[in-house]
C-alpha cells in the first residue's frame, strides 16, 4: 500500500494497491477499499513536472470553466482534495500525489483495436478542445515550458550532441542526420504559431489513446485523462500527436521497422471524428492538420533521441536502447508521411469539407 492514499478521503479503508503500467512519466496505481470503492493514485514525476502547483492550478481553472458550462462530465476527470484541503499531497520527500475516483466500467487501451476505438479517441480529444473553446488560453500556466516548441527541441538535441555523456553519438549518426535535414519543415508549424496565423487554444498536448477512457461495454469514449500537459497550444498539436501514436501500423517501440507506416484509413477516421467533435476549427487549422501530424512525430522522435544521448533521464525505459528504438519508429513514420503527403492533404480536405 502507498502511504500517500491515507491523506485523501476515501470511501472505506484502502486494502489493495496495484501498479498500472501505462505512460512513460508518472507512476499510476489502482487502489481498492474494503467498501469496494476504487481510486487512481498517481505519483507525479518532479523531474518532468517541477511545478505541481501550476499543473493543479490549470486543472482547477479548466474544471471550473467546464462545470459552469455544464460540460464537466464528458470532458475530463476530477481530482479529489486531500483531507486537509490541498489539491495534491506532498510527501516531504520530493514526491507529489493525487487521486481521482476510478471511472466505473472504464478501460484504457494501449493501442486502438480497430477504427471504431480510434474514432472514439478522436471524439474525446475533439470534444475536449471544443468544450474549452472560449477559455482564455493565455491564463493557463505552461507546465513544461516550450513543450511543443520544436526549434527549442532541436536546440536540446544539439546540446545533448555536444555533451554526449555516454559516447552514444557514433551510434546515432544516421538518426541525427535525418533530424537535422528536416529542421526547416519540422519548425514550420512553430513559425505559424509565432506569426499568429493559427489561433491559440487550450490543448491537451499528449493525445495518445491511452489518455482516453472508454466504456468497457459500449466502447464509447467517456473522458480524457492525463491532464498535466494541458497548456496553451495549437489544435493541431492534439490532432498530430494522436495520429503519431494511433495511426501508425506498429507500436511506438517496435524494432522491426518494416512494420511501421502511416495507416491512411486510421488517419481518415481520426480526422473525421476530431472534426465532427470540434466544428469550431478554422480553415487554417484544418489545413494545418497534416503538418501537425508531421511536426508532432518528428518532434517526438527528436525528444526520444535527445533522451537517449542524455542517458534516458526523461522517458522511463524497460530495455537497453528503448529510447533509440522509439526514435526510429517515429522517423520511419515520418518517411511514410513524406511518401503519402498528397493523400494526407486530400483526406483532410475531404473530411473537413462543409
Ligand atoms: C509521454 O506520460 P505519457 O507516456 O502519456 C510524454 C509525451 C510523449 C509520450 C510519448 C509529459 O507521455 O509528450 O509524446 O510520452 N509526456 C510528457 O509516448 O513528456
Ligand atoms: Mg499518459
Ligand 1 probe mutation, 153, 206, 293, 328, most atoms within 8 A of CB: 206
- Specify the long-range contacts of residues 217-220, CB closer than 8 Å, at least 24 apart: 217/105, 219/116, 219/117, 219/120, 220/120
Q: Could you tell me the CA-to-CA distances from 77 to 8, 67, 126 in Å, in that order?
A: 17, 12, 16
Tell me if 212 sits within 8 A of 225, measured CB to CB: yes
What is the tens place of the pLDDT at every residue in 192-228? 999 999 999 999 999 999 999 999 999 999 989 989 9
Residue nearest atom 7 in ligand 1 by C-alpha distance: 206
Instruction: Tell me how far apart the alpha carbons of residues 231 and 181 are, in angstroms, rounded to a whole number.
Output: 29
Q: pLDDT class for 60, splitting at 50, 70, 90? A: confident
- Cα of 353 vs centre of ligand 1, distance in Å, is 32
Pairing of strands 231-233, 201-203: antiparallel
229 lines ligand 1 (CB under 6 A): yes
307 lines ligand 1 (CB under 6 A): no
Across residues 37-46, what is the average pLDDT? 96
208 lines ligand 1 (CB under 6 A): yes
What is the tens place of the pLDDT at every residue in 132-178? 999 999 999 999 999 999 999 999 999 999 999 999 999 999 999 99
- Cα of 210 vs centre of ligand 2, distance in Å, is 6
Helix, strand, coil share of the chain (percent; to 5)? 50, 15, 35
Residue 31 pLDDT > 70, yes or no?
yes
Domain 115-351 in this protein, CATH class: alpha beta
For residue 245, give the ligand 1 atom closest to its CA: 18
The mean predicted confidence, pLDDT, of the chain is: 95
- Distance between start and end Cα atoms, the chain: 54
pLDDT at 221: 94
Q: Is 98 helix (H, G, I), strand (E, B) or coil?
A: strand
pLDDT at 17: 98
Q: How far is CA 115 from the centre of its chain?
A: 19
4-69+79-102 folds as Phosphorylase Kinase; domain 1 (3.30.200)
pLDDT at 252: 98
| Residue ranges of domains in the chain | 4-69+79-102, 115-351
Of 301, 333, 300, 294, nearest to 177 (Cα)?
A: 301
Across residues 327-331, what is the average pLDDT? 99
Instruction: Tell me how far apart the alpha carbons of residues 265 and 270 are, in angstroms, rounded to a whole number.
Output: 9
Which ligand is nearest to the Cα of residue 225, counting in written order? 2
Amino acid at each position: 500500500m502507498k502511504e500517500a492514499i491515507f491523506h485523501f478521503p476515501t470511501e472505506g479503508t484502502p486494502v489493495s494497491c496495484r501498479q498500472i503500467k501505462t505512460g512513460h512519466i508518472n507512476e499510476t496505481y489502482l487502489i481498492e477499499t474494503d467498501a469496494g470503492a476504487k481510486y487512481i493514485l498517481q505519483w507525479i514525476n518532479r523531474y518532468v513536472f517541477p511545478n505541481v502547483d501550476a499543473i493543479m492550478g490549470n486543472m482547477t481553472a479548466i474544471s471550473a470553466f467546464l462545470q459552469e458550462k455544464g460540460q464537466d462530465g464528458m470532458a475530463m476527470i476530477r481530482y479529489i482534495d486531500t483531507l486537509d484541503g490541498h489539491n495534491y499531497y506532498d510527501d516531504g520527500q520530493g514526491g507529489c500525489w493525487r487521486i481521482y475516483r476510478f471511472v466505473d466500467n472504464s478501460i484504457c487501451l494501449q493501442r486502438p483495436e480497430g477504427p471504431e476505438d480510434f474514432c472514439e479517441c478522436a471524439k474525446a480529444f475533439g470534444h475536449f478542445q471544443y468544450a474549452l473553446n472560449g477559455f482564455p488560453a493565455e491564463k493557463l500556466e505552461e507546465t513544461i515550458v516550450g513543450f511543443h516548441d520544436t526549434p527549442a527541441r532541436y536546440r536540446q538535441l544539439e546540446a545533448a550532441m555536444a555533451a554526449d555523456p555516454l559516447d552514444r553519438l557514433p551510434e546515432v549518426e544516421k538518426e541525427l542526420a535525418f533530424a537535422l535535414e528536416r529542421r526547416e519543415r519540422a519548425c514550420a508549424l512553430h513559425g505559424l504559431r509565432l506569426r499568429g496565423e493559427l489561433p491559440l487554444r487550450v490543448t491537451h498536448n499528449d493525445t495518445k489513446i491511452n489518455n482516453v477512457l472508454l466504456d468497457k461495454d459500449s466502447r464509447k469514449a467517456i473522458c480524457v485523462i492525463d491532464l498535466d500537459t494541458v497548456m496553451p497550444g495549437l489544435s493541431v498539436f492534439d490532432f498530430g500527436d494522436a495520429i503519431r501514436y494511433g495511426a501508425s501500423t506498429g507500436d511506438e517501440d517496435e524494432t522491426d521497422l518494416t512494420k511501421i507506416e502511416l495507416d491512411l484509413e486510421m488517419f481518415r477516421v481520426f480526422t473525421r471524428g476530431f472534426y465532427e467533435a470540434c466544428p469550431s476549427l478554422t480553415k487554417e487549422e484544418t489545413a494545418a492538420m497534416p503538418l501537425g501530424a508531421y511536426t508532432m512525430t518528428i518532434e517526438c522522435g527528436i525528444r526520444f533521441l535527445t533522451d537517449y544521448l542524455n542517458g534516458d533521464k526523461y522517458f522511463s525505459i524497460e530495455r537497453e536502447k528503448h529510447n533509440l528504438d522509439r526514435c526510429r519508429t517515429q522517423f520511419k513514420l515520418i518517411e511514410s508521411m513524406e511518401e503519402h503527403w498528397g493523400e494526407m492533404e486530400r483526406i483532410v480536405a475531404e473530411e473537413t469539407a462543409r
